[in-house]
Amino acid sequence: MEPKLIDHLFRHHYGKMVSVLTRIFGLAHIETIEDAVQDAFVKATVSWTHTMPDNPEAWLTQAAKNRVLDIFRKLKTHKKHVPQLSTGPSAIALSDLFLDTEIEDSQLRMIFTACHPQLDPRDRIAFALKTVSGFSIKEIASALLTKEDSIKKRIQRARKAIKKKDIRFAIPQGKELPERNDSVLEVVYLIFNEGFHSNRKDMLVRKDLCGEALRLCQLILKREATRSPEGYALLALMCFHAARLDSKINDANEIIDLRHQDRSKWHFPLVKLGNHAMVRAVEDDVYSHYHYEAAIAAEHIKARSFEETNWEAIFKWYEALYAIQPSPSVALNMVMTQIQRGNFEDAKERLQQIEPADLEQRSYLYYGTYAEYYQLQGERKKAVSCMELALLAVQNDAERKYLERKKEALLEM
């Protein structure tokens, strides 16, 4: 069986299984539940080596059900909690929890539980990425730009806090909901970002993670109680970005920048979905950073060619974004926009105010932007020097090759 398919199924089903089993056994047993689900996938990997089941998803769902009894035996609480699970009314009730609507309900409960305000903000994001979407410790560390040991500690702290504070496995109501919703959307946003521009060394785009983020966002927007303008804006943003995925990397795993992307490859059904979401997002007058990021992405989508991009509108949206969420990455994007507009003096002033270290793993973008600035100013040697600094800082293989090609082009000028 292909490892890619196992990985896809794991990503797609891990959160579902953990959520349903947690609803059955309770949050106190979350670690045992996660171990059991991992075990089910290990067994699938072995069982499917030579013969793959006709319906892999059904096989995994059945495996999750079978693990129920195993977990109770492990916890030595079989008789106390669920007598005769395999027959009678208890078995029917258990099967009902694996219906699509109940799985969705369990997943929503897990997302909102992971984002509980009584958990440390850093811990809840790591915990959510692990339990909801099946991120490995390494993947979480990469997505959050943090050491693996720190991520392990955060997840353990979250598990302990859930037990100690007796946090309920439920979707909050009333005043609690909007605050919790912010954390939930942040987690979905992080999942998508790791898919759209992965921090992994060997892979830049991970479509499965983008798809998972879109699925979770649509799951949140399905329910009236959990819908919000911010949620619709996030969905629009992700749709606009995901529409360009097929044109972002070529068959040789080489990056194709926005200027050279084949726009006919953009997936316009996703653009249409994003437009519908954006209409819902602006029904109120309060705008989040998702609104402004979606507006920027929409400007790129609207342009028939790179040369026809409305950089003035994009700069306006970046200014609005920076006003509510100032960050080095937004500041750097403003610089790039000014370079495209030909406002070189302002671009250099803004560049001088950015500390490359503040961009952490993305510091190569700072040097790459400086290289672009010097190239357009006709200072080739300085542009090459900056590109060399960018190459020293870059970690992803595809991005390294892209920067090397840019450096070669500079040397040939």
Tokens of 339: 């370079």
Residue 312 lies in a domain: no
Domain boundary among 67, 83, 98: 98
pLDDT at 45: 79
Q: Which of 117, 261, 242, 150 is nearest to 191 (CA)?
A: 242
SS3 of residue 244 by DSSP: coil
Residue 200 lies in a domain: no
Structural domain range at position 382? 325-413
pLDDT at 87: 45
In the chain, the amino acid numbered 339 is: I
Task: Report the alpha-carbon angle 357-362-352, nearest 5.
Answer: 50
Residue 215 lies in a domain: no
pLDDT at 94: 66
The single residue listed with the structure tokens 């007598």 is 83
Residues of the chain with pLDDT under 70: 1-6, 8, 75-94, 199-200, 202-203
Question: What is the CATH number for 364?
Answer: 1.25.40.10
Q: What sign has the CA pseudo-torsion 291, 193, 330, 303?
A: negative
pLDDT at 83: 43
Domain boundary among 37, 71, 98: 98
Residue 241 lies in a domain: no
Fill in the DSSP letter of residue 255.
B
Q: What angle do the packed helices 176-196 and 229-242 form, to 10 degrees? A: 10
Q: What is the pTM of this model?
A: 0.84
Residue 39 lies in a domain: yes
Give the C-alpha distances (Å, rounded to integers) separating 367 from 253, 391, 395, 397: 23, 9, 14, 17
Domain boundary among 73, 98, 123: 98
pLDDT at 222: 92
Q: Which of 169, 33, 161 is nearest to 112 (CA)?
A: 169
Distance CA 331, CA 350 (A): 7
Residue 212 lies in a domain: no
Q: Which of 54, 65, 113 is nearest to 90 (CA)?
A: 65
Residue 277 lies in a domain: no
Per the structure, the count of domains in the chain is 2
pLDDT tens for residues 9-45? 777 788 888 998 888 888 888 888 888 888 888 888 7
Q: Looking at the chain, how many residues does it have?
A: 413
pLDDT tens for residues 314-332? 999 999 999 999 999 999 9
SS3 of residue 249 by DSSP: strand
Residue 261 lies in a domain: no
Burial 380-389 (b: 16+ CB within 10 A, else e): eeebbbbbeb
Contact 262, 247 (CB under 8 A): yes
